[in-house]
Homo-oligomer: A and B are copies of this chain.
Amino acid sequence: MADKRFQSLPGFRDFTPRDCAIRNYLFSVWRNVAHRYGFTEYEAPIVESTELYLKKSGGELTTQLFRFQDQGGRDITLRPELTASLARIVGANQRDFPKPLKWFEIGPCFRYEKPQKGRGREFIQFNADILGESSAAADAELIAMAIDTMLCLGFREGDFVIRASDRASWVNFCAEHDISEPSEFLPIIDRLEKLKPEALKEQLDNFGITREQVDHFISDKENASPAFREIQANLEARGLGKYLELDLTIVRGLAYYTGAVFEIFDTKKSMRAVAGGGRYDGLLSTLSNGAADLPATGFAMGDMVIRNFIEETPNALLEMEAWLARHPACQVYVVIADESNRHSALTVISQLRTAGIATDYVMTQLNVGKQFKKAEQSGARFALVIGEEYPEMQLKILSSRTEATIHPNTDVVTAIQSHLDSPDGPLIA
């Protein structure tokens, strides 16, 4: 991309074939895990009325909007996230669906921020939400799915950890220390590691709290909330308890979270959070003007940080490469060694494609050597050679150049399908 004339806008990505295949791998794992967990897919428009986002508390987001007027004078915005659309759609349709709703979505979001590693202006998010279930069992179900997403991507114990907490713990802390507005105190905890010591001290002083009191509270596992303990027991029953870690410093920045909150990190903590989520019981009601007053818990994972994490984790990278190898652009390359048989070749190509086999060929006359070169570039395992002895054909394994004859009375589709289904090895005709 050296040539500036052909660059995409800053923070926007071109997905050339390999990047697109990696994106599709993420889509495939996300959909697969969501389906296993009984989640149903929905999609929202990419553009919404701006007022939908202004309603949602959470300050920073509204300064990062791709916001504009359409030709009809409407104030519209490219969606920066999905929850506002979800609330709108559920507000309109909730009577049509039994509760709880387990819904997921995969699609692009847009934020005007400084492009950097793991962060772009257009990124793809996997969103999963459970609406209409207030118990911690729903948080556990969601966190279990988040963990399984990581496992399906090939991550293992030791690669990642879910750090979870419950805002209820800090509400207790506030009650014990006569802090009347926990919503003003929680943002300090959120910025505990970001604030400079003096600034932190000053902010804590305003509430009559010392750093030592905060550290002491965080280090005592007894401060886990009943909901956290329930989530932990639930995950242990699923064999997933080992991925969960109590971390009372996790409160999530946004003001609308009301209960359990969690983030997924790489164990080395060398990058930003891979995913995050939590309970937001009041938000749907606010966003839908009371039409969808449902307790809710949800999480989101973006495509940029997780791709970096995969590429830095050998087992996850292997898993991805194996998937890519199982999804080649071409399975069989037809080499037309005798131009007078081109129409016969088209007939065979049609038969293979109709059987679902990815088949390619050179569209105009070319010498056989060059056709084989293209066959190799295509990534196909097999070349099917159609020459002057047609209807007899030769099938070659491109990696080993071993070959077998397909006799005129053989069904070519069946013959090739059986070879595709077998691992490579000497071909026996």
Q: Give residues 50-99 of A contacting B (CB, 8 Å).
A: 66, 68-72, 74, 76, 78, 85, 88-89, 91-93, 96-98
* B residues less than 8 Å from A103 (CB atoms): 17
- Taking a contact as CB atoms under 8 Å apart, the answer to whether B70 and A69 are in contact is no
- Taking a contact as CB atoms under 8 Å apart, the answer to whether A360 and B38 are in contact is yes
| Copies of this chain held together in the complex | 2
- Taking a contact as CB atoms under 8 Å apart, the answer to whether A88 and B49 are in contact is no
- Taking a contact as CB atoms under 8 Å apart, the answer to whether A138 and B47 are in contact is no
* B residues less than 8 Å from A49 (CB atoms): 9
In Å, the complex CA distance between A148 and B351 comes to 12
Counting chain A residues whose Cβ lies within 8 A of the other chain, the interface size class is: 35 or more
* B residues less than 8 Å from A330 (CB atoms): 38
* B residues less than 8 Å from A233 (CB atoms): 343
Does A428 belong to the interface (CB within 8 Å)?
no
- Taking a contact as CB atoms under 8 Å apart, the answer to whether B15 and A42 are in contact is yes
Does A200 belong to the interface (CB within 8 Å)?
no
Cβ 8 A contact of A89, one of B14, B96, B148, B360:
B14
Does A378 belong to the interface (CB within 8 Å)?
yes
| Closest B residue to A329 using CB positions | B40
Does A156 belong to the interface (CB within 8 Å)?
no
In Å, the complex CA distance between A92 and B69 comes to 32
Does A357 belong to the interface (CB within 8 Å)?
yes
In Å, the complex CA distance between A87 and B356 comes to 30
- Taking a contact as CB atoms under 8 Å apart, the answer to whether A69 and B71 are in contact is no
Does A23 belong to the interface (CB within 8 Å)?
yes
- Taking a contact as CB atoms under 8 Å apart, the answer to whether B71 and A43 are in contact is no
Quick one: which of A8, A72, A138 has the most chain B CB within 10 A?
A8
Does A322 belong to the interface (CB within 8 Å)?
no
- Taking a contact as CB atoms under 8 Å apart, the answer to whether B91 and A6 are in contact is yes
Cβ 8 A contact of A363, one of B24, B141, B363:
B141
- Taking a contact as CB atoms under 8 Å apart, the answer to whether A98 and B374 are in contact is yes
- Taking a contact as CB atoms under 8 Å apart, the answer to whether A66 and B47 are in contact is yes
In Å, the complex CA distance between A330 and B48 comes to 31
* B residues less than 8 Å from A6 (CB atoms): 88-89, 91-92, 288, 291
| Closest B residue to A38 using CB positions | B360
Cβ 8 A contact of A8, one of B45, B102, B288, B361:
B45
Q: Shortest beta-carbon distance, A135 to chain B, in Å?
A: 5
Q: Shortest beta-carbon distance, A125 to chain B, in Å?
A: 14
* B residues less than 8 Å from A43 (CB atoms): 14-15, 20, 23
Q: List 6 A-B contacts (CB under 8 A).
A: A6-B92, A9-B70, A14-B88, A15-B42, A72-B112, A133-B363
A-B CB proximity, top 4 nearest:
A38-B360, A68-B68, A6-B92, A12-B45
